[in-house]
Structure 1
Amino acid sequence: MRDEQTGEEIIIKPYSAPAGGWGSMRGMAEVLPGEKPGLSTLDTLRRQNKPEGFMCVSCAWGKPAHPHVAEFCENGAKATAWELTSHRVTPAFFERYTVSELDGWMDHDLEQAGRLTHPMRYDAGTDKYVAASWAEAFESIGAKLKTCDPTKVVLYSSGRASLETSFMFSLMARMWGQQNLPDSSNMCHETTSVGLKNAIGSPVATIQMEDYDKCDAIFAFGQNVGTNSPRMLHTLKDCRDRGVEIVTFNPLRERGWERFADPQSPKDMLAGGETQISTQYHQVKAGGDISALLGMCKLMVEADDRAIAEGLPRVIDHHFIEQHTVRFDEFADFCRAADWDEIVHESGLSRHAIEAAARVYMKAERVIAVYGMGITQHRYGMDSLYMLVNFLLMRGNVGREGAGPGPVRGHSNVQGQRTVGITEKTELAPVDRLRELFQFEPPTEKGWDTVESCRAIISGECQGFVQLGGNFLRATPEHAMMKEAWAKLPITVHISTKLNKSHLTPGQESWILPCLGRSERDHQATGDQAVSMEDSFSHIYGSVGKVTPAADTLLSEPAIVAGLAKAILPPNPNVPWDEWVGDYSLVRTAIENCYPDKFANFNEQLFVPGGFWKGNPAAHREWLTESGKAEFNVPRALNSSGFAEKEGRFRLVTLRSNDQFNTTIYGYDDRFRGIRGTRMVVMMNRGDMLKLGLTDGDKVALESDAEDGVERVVEGLRVVEYNIPAGSIGGYYPELNCLIALEHHALESHVPAGKSVPVRVRV
């Protein structure tokens, strides 16, 4: 059987091998030749994620001071080959195809076409993009944007833009009088940024990479290490080799959390060796983490109560709690009153399983809690995060070596962008420093985040959209409404390396501005330039590209941002855009001046092996919260989905495949899940299939069950019997994003709730 859209042969067959190993090597071997990268790709991979090297554009896992010989993973290699492809999308390409024709292409095929080479302007008369000069582009875009109300224009940024570019982009926005600055974080980890800030005073991980060398247990929630951050598997293997217990909670059994064969180990590669990663694996219902954590906390409270009564050593760290926290008694009473039948039902786990996990936690001295979007992308995602923090606080596992929350960011610099001003919130921007240094009055009115930007686009309030990387239209919920409204935007501008779906719904005026990739040589007036980014551990790294650019017509991201800034802003002698483009070290000096507590001696520290740490008060038990202490919080619900169980209603978990990075589709092989040749699938529990009279391979539709009167349907999905809890189903994004209602988002953080979407299966 072949996929109707891709023509690929569909093969559904369980995958028995571990993560990594020869499977990883074959995965690279299948994808890389399609991009036809040059010999320079090998040198780039050799330098990837190393001191004085090139920082991967894929995930945000840390770059060690003492790297492996090959410090890249399968997906990192794919991302590099994707950027260094020999395929080109020139003006001649756009002469051959109308935009309407291209809009019918698959995501993979659009990206496979190659690197964009020239500035392009959409011509509605011919329905084609036509080439333009850079001068024409900046002049026309500037003229159009100056007719807009700045507070009604969105300036979106993808998580791969450098610190230098992100700082310039955010400064341009505020000098223009607005801060509509949504970014990739709004799509995924904004719950972390808001929730951790409220609970412990810091919006990011308190741990550093070396804490993994000091922990004695790891608890993982809602994160797929094998696909989303494969280099982390080396760290987990090292932990297991020294006896660290790893307890995993996730609806699907993901191979990376099960077994790993190290591709750099002769023993593993030649003798078939592998490491068991998780010592316990608990398949919670989608959104069931609140109750799983509550069950463990309840067991600790009750064990501590018995210890008091019997004069035994305490289970809970009361000294830490009394010194450093508030509201523990309220939370402890909530735990005591919690009903086991409800905990078991809402988590989908047996009491025995929860007790087994709790025993590991109560025995361990230093515990790291790893988590991803399985925690954050729910209606009550904030409550999931608060429960995880409660869990850590009970035994003092925040603010000491080898312990703490460890959110794993999925994009290479999404955390760093927030550090240097990409935020819609005035309180997170250095307003006083900006006013003093650059002599302008920064805006104080809150800007639009992703959900608010989508609302403004759909309502017609938005007057323009400038996209610094990314594929916003494809990545957002409410796709049908968004696409119709997007075409009515007065202007859309895309700073991009490759063609994607967002380009193919042009606004009334639409531009594509092609930029250098991070791996490419960035030569400016003062010589070759370096850029920087921040990882999940708050470490800052320099990166130098050395590959000859895809075309001599490309500009760097800082040069494009400067060109736009000069086109829409009056001259300001305190902001030397051209000098900044000529020497990025001057931008870093400006960043240091704005954020002296985080970027002291920025240029001097740029290439410190392992990066330099920007610091984190919560790591030293300095709590910058409203109470001045770490805060316990009682959850509002026992499941984070935010909707009731009903007969026939399922919780859809949207997923990445192994051949994917966000909306970038490298191929059609989801190796670990045994699905090859198609992405149009729905993974279902066998019992649920039997109830609906379905067998493996049947075709069904999914329809939204959001109860808001809006019809959202995806047809032609192949049923795949899968090891997933009853009532939960899985499928790929972005294909299934159109089933997510715009208002189905995390309550406080506005993150689209893509890990528990109410749907029905239509047979």
Structure 2
Amino acid sequence: MGEPKIEAYEDPAGGWGSAKSLVEILTREEIPVSGAAMLMKQNKPTGFMCVSCAWAKPAKPNTFEYCENGAKATAWEQTRKRVGPDFFQRHTVTELLGWSDYDLEEKGRITHPLRYDPESDRYLAVSWQDAFAEIGRELRALEPKSVVFYASGRASLETSYMYGLLARMYGNNNLPDSSNMCHEATSTALPQSIGVPVGTTVLEDFETTDLILFFGQNVGSNSPRMLHPLQDARRRGVPIITFNPLRERGLERFTNPQAPLEMVTHSSTRISTQYHQLKAGGDIAAITGMCKALIAADRDAKATGRKRVLDHAFISEHTHGFSEFVGYCDAQDWSVLERRSGLKRADLEAAAAVYARAERTIGIYGMGLTQHRKGTETVQMFVNLMLLRGNIGKPGAGICPVRGHSNVQGQRTVGITEKPELVPLDRLKEQYGFEPPREKGLNTVEACEGILSGDVKAFVSLGGNFVRAIPDTERMEEAWRRQRLTVQISTKLNRSHLVHGEVSYILPCLGRIEIDEQASGPQAVSMEDSTAHFHGSRGVATPIGDQVRSEPWIVAALAKAVLPPNPSIDWNAWVGNYAKVRDAIEATYPDLFKDFNAHLFEPGGMRKPLPARDRQWKTKTGKANFIVPAGLNEDPDMPARGPEVLDLITLRSNDQFNTTVYGYHDRFRGVKGTRQILFMNEADIARFDLADGESVDVATEASDDHVRVVKGLRVVKYDIPEGNCAGYYPELNVLIPLWHHDEQAKTPAAKAIPVRVTKAGRSVGTN
């Protein structure tokens, strides 16, 4: 890490800082030449889809169709460094538990299947045959309801379909996934509002839109390739209005690293034309203020004979609940809206005025909206704003939730869900001759509750670093070890391997970028991006060793070890030719995957049918619904926040993707050499008698009996609203109570955690 250094970074997103970061990681992972060659095939029609975020892949890609973080993900996966059996001869699990997340993954790719040996406290190499024999015995001995099949968001559609089928044939719907931790509020809110669980925009909409609204999404760190259509929009004069507690560099200025003139002249494009730093959890109030202003302007337009502001024709024909929603907005007091949002009435009216003039608006949002106690209602409130001017279901407009993992949206499409109503169970019954379980399964929070109570006995993880990603990590790690069986299908070592059950296996898999050779030849896999397009992906790199196996191969081997033979399914044939899996997906979902194999590599992707985009509303009312929120507070049911309590926002650094930490340089926020940071407002620092750079302890303010504390964070003065503070996850996940989640979707409420901050060494805890 080196000596921690905090100094302001003045450059834009992208530019030379991005180029320098790319060279650094390719060199560090020992692939400066081969890595650069691989990147030329990233997100290309005949290459591989990025293993990082899920942003759309254009039909006509740029020469360099990757971003800084996508390049880091590729270098991280294709590193020349290896973790073989000899590594574990040198290091016990107890020793490795003291390592950081970065140090664990930085050691490289896992080369052999491994089984934990309690006598030596080490993982030892094991044959694939012996691994599946024991895993099969253990799973067959357990009650199906006590087993969880988790999936991270990177596994392909083919693997995900097989994995969901394995779980249901085993006997449960316990299929939590990474969506449960980030965008489950989207999947819950949008079907109620517009009848589909995903966004309605496509890349082409950015070419014709008149306005872009941004809520709670950091494009510079989380989805940098989106900066290209944003820059193009700004050059056309399209305003971009941002609502976010922190000023994020990617939403301020951008220099395109692929534009030589921009790089040479150090020029940049201003991204946000208005930037409103609302308080954490102030989104419902801010959106309500905009809606209230629009309704008032519409009444004034009617009274003076001017063109109406609201799209009354659309509202009358296509929506339900409008009058109740107007009544809700009229009843809100501006002083309350200002206090709760942290914004002035004039600012909200200014944003509404720009929105009122735009014929086509795209509404973009991220986890700043979803990760609250009322995250579902917050998303629905954003939809309400879009409905007022008919901005769902027309070109150049729509709602655009920005997903994280590269196939997290696609996994849900093909059955990775705990909700049986989202899966065509009768069709699966007909296809495969078994009775699928109809009982709701466990989502992420419920799986954690089951582990704490002892009801969950086994956890199978298809990728990811679940132990590190979940809330209440200190409590969860203690309970995790009481499980009978834990199985991790992984590429790299992480903390979830070290916090293990009584019987524990690590099964090393191919990365998506590697050539997957099976009986019928090299295989292709597929993903779904954030704009609901399916894409094919072909590996281009030589596999790291002869003992790693593809994810479909591992899932099929698990199925054969656990399930009785089924004449309706040939797991071996599926592994030999993934096109047969895609045929099975099409048979299960014929309306979504018509001629799937034929369109696998269609430029720009195969578009998934979305009724809401055509203004067909698959809701209970048959229309798009205005849904009135219960109140303005996005995070109720926590202790009363006095002046001594701050709302903590957890966030990513520029040098990470979800739980994967690529390094200790958060370039845009000026932090280098450490992640033990607490960003605070200057007034709060003075009020708490602290100093910039001082060491503090942070404790959750919660009305339960558990003390949740992180010690030794460094205070950094930052441009953040008074009463808010921020720090990095997953390090601060220990502060999130497991029960502090969205009331409907159960998404952890990681964007507003009440905390007390004290000087390091003082007594901290709950009242």
- Shared topology, TM-score over 0.5? yes
The aligned counterpart of 2:368 is 374
Within 2, Cα distance between the matches of 1:333 and 1:752? 31
The aligned counterpart of 1:572 is 566
The aligned counterpart of 1:666 is 662
Cα deviation for residue 337 of structure 1 reads: 1.5
Matches within 5 A, 1:57-68: 57-68=51-62
The aligned counterpart of 1:753 is 749
Give the % identical residues: 58
The aligned counterpart of 1:434 is 428
Cα deviation for residue 336 of structure 1 reads: 1.2
Question: Could you tell me whether the CA contact under 8 Å between 1:261 and 1:268 is conserved in 2?
Answer: yes
Question: Could you tell me whether the CA contact under 8 Å between 1:211 and 1:403 is conserved in 2?
Answer: yes
Within 1, Cα distance between the matches of 2:65 and 2:166? 35
Deviations 1:278-307 (A, max 9, x none): 000000000111111100100111111222
> Is 1:738 the counterpart of 2:734 in the alignment?
yes
Question: Could you tell me whether the CA contact under 8 Å between 2:26 and 2:35 is conserved in 1?
Answer: no
Deviations 1:36-94 (A, max 9, x none): 12643222100000101110000000000000000000000000000110000000001
Within 2, Cα distance between the matches of 1:563 and 1:91? 22
Within 1, Cα distance between the matches of 2:748 and 2:306? 46
The aligned counterpart of 1:696 is 692
Cα deviation for residue 481 of structure 1 reads: 1.4
The aligned counterpart of 2:680 is 684
SS in 1 for 2:224: coil
Cα deviation for residue 29 of structure 1 reads: 2.2
> Is 1:647 the counterpart of 2:643 in the alignment?
yes
Question: Could you tell me whether the CA contact under 8 Å between 1:680 and 1:716 is conserved in 2?
Answer: yes
Output the amino acid matched with 1:308.
K
Output the amino acid matched with 1:52.
T
Output the amino acid matched with 1:421.
G
What TM-score does the superposition give when structure 1 sets the normalisation length?
A: 0.99
Matches within 5 A, 1:161-240: 161-240=155-234
Output the amino acid matched with 1:29.
V
Question: Could you tell me whether the CA contact under 8 Å between 1:380 and 1:637 is conserved in 2?
Answer: no
Cα deviation for residue 463 of structure 1 reads: 1.0
> Is 1:53 the counterpart of 2:47 in the alignment?
yes
Within 2, Cα distance between the matches of 1:459 and 1:200? 37
Cα deviation for residue 638 of structure 1 reads: 1.0
Cα deviation for residue 32 of structure 1 reads: 2.4
Within 2, Cα distance between the matches of 1:331 and 1:663? 39
Within 2, Cα distance between the matches of 1:585 and 1:721? 54
Question: Could you tell me whether the CA contact under 8 Å between 1:44 and 1:54 is conserved in 2?
Answer: no
The aligned counterpart of 1:518 is 512
The aligned counterpart of 2:30 is 36
Q: Which residues of structure 1 form unaligned runs of 5+?
A: 1-5
Deviations 1:360-405 (A, max 9, x none): 1001000000000000000011121111000000000001111110
SS in 1 for 2:450: helix
> Is 1:146 the counterpart of 2:140 in the alignment?
yes
Within 2, Cα distance between the matches of 1:337 and 1:435? 51
Question: Could you tell me whether the CA contact under 8 Å between 2:47 and 2:540 is conserved in 1?
Answer: no
Assess, with a 3 A threshold, how the Cα gap between structure 1 residues 740 and 247 changes in structure 2: closer, same or farther.
same
Matches within 5 A, 1:382-421: 382-421=376-415
Cα deviation for residue 16 of structure 1 reads: 0.2
What TM-score does the superposition give when structure 2 sets the normalisation length?
A: 0.98
2:290 corresponds, among 288, 292, 296, to 296
Within 2, Cα distance between the matches of 1:29 and 1:714? 34
Within 2, Cα distance between the matches of 1:45 and 1:744? 40
Within 2, Cα distance between the matches of 1:266 and 1:556? 40
> Is 1:729 the counterpart of 2:725 in the alignment?
yes
Deviations 1:464-484 (A, max 9, x none): 000000000000001111101
Deviations 1:1-59 (A, max 9, x none): xxxxx5x2111011000000001011122222221126432221000001011100000
The aligned counterpart of 1:242 is 236
Within 2, Cα distance between the matches of 1:589 and 1:577? 13
1:657 corresponds, among 653, 659, 669, to 653
Output the amino acid matched with 1:447.
G
Within 2, Cα distance between the matches of 1:663 and 1:328? 41
Matches within 5 A, 1:491-506: 491-506=485-500
Output the amino acid matched with 1:515.
C
Output the amino acid matched with 1:601.
D
> Is 1:634 the counterpart of 2:628 in the alignment?
yes
The aligned counterpart of 1:253 is 247
SS in 1 for 2:526: strand
Deviations 1:480-506 (A, max 9, x none): 111011111000000000000000012
Within 1, Cα distance between the matches of 2:351 and 2:522? 52
Within 2, Cα distance between the matches of 1:754 and 1:626? 31
Within 1, Cα distance between the matches of 2:109 and 2:36? 19
The aligned counterpart of 2:764 is none
SS in 2 for 1:638: coil
The aligned counterpart of 2:274 is 280
Assess, with a 3 A threshold, how the Cα gap between structure 1 residues 38 and 11 changes in structure 2: closer, same or farther.
closer
Output the amino acid matched with 2:234.
R
Within 2, Cα distance between the matches of 1:563 and 1:680? 42
Say which is worse superposed, 497-506 or 30-39, in terms of deviation. Answer: 30-39
Within 1, Cα distance between the matches of 2:504 and 2:468? 17
Question: Could you tell me whether the CA contact under 8 Å between 1:153 and 1:180 is conserved in 2?
Answer: yes
Within 1, Cα distance between the matches of 2:173 and 2:548? 28
Output the amino acid matched with 1:762.
T
Within 1, Cα distance between the matches of 2:374 and 2:6? 34
Output the amino acid matched with 1:333.
G
1:559 corresponds, among 538, 544, 553, to 553
Within 2, Cα distance between the matches of 1:605 and 1:99? 46
Output the amino acid matched with 2:107.
A
> Is 1:535 the counterpart of 2:529 in the alignment?
yes
Question: Could you tell me whether the CA contact under 8 Å between 1:383 and 1:637 is conserved in 2?
Answer: no
Within 1, Cα distance between the matches of 2:278 and 2:633? 11
Within 2, Cα distance between the matches of 1:36 and 1:574? 46
The aligned counterpart of 1:422 is 416
Question: Could you tell me whether the CA contact under 8 Å between 1:289 and 1:639 is conserved in 2?
Answer: no
Output the amino acid matched with 1:600.
K
Question: Could you tell me whether the CA contact under 8 Å between 1:286 and 1:641 is conserved in 2?
Answer: no
Question: Could you tell me whether the CA contact under 8 Å between 2:169 and 2:563 is conserved in 1?
Answer: yes
Deviations 1:233-279 (A, max 9, x none): 00100000101100000000000000000000011101111100000
Question: Could you tell me whether the CA contact under 8 Å between 1:347 and 1:639 is conserved in 2?
Answer: no
> Is 1:160 the counterpart of 2:154 in the alignment?
yes
1:313 corresponds, among 303, 307, 313, to 307
Q: Which residues of structure 2 form unaligned runs of 5+?
A: 760-767
Question: Could you tell me whether the CA contact under 8 Å between 2:9 and 2:667 is conserved in 1?
Answer: yes
Output the amino acid matched with 1:655.
L
Within 2, Cα distance between the matches of 1:371 and 1:477? 22
* Count of matched residue pairs: 757
Deviations 1:654-685 (A, max 9, x none): 00000000000000000000011100010000
Output the amino acid matched with 1:545.
G
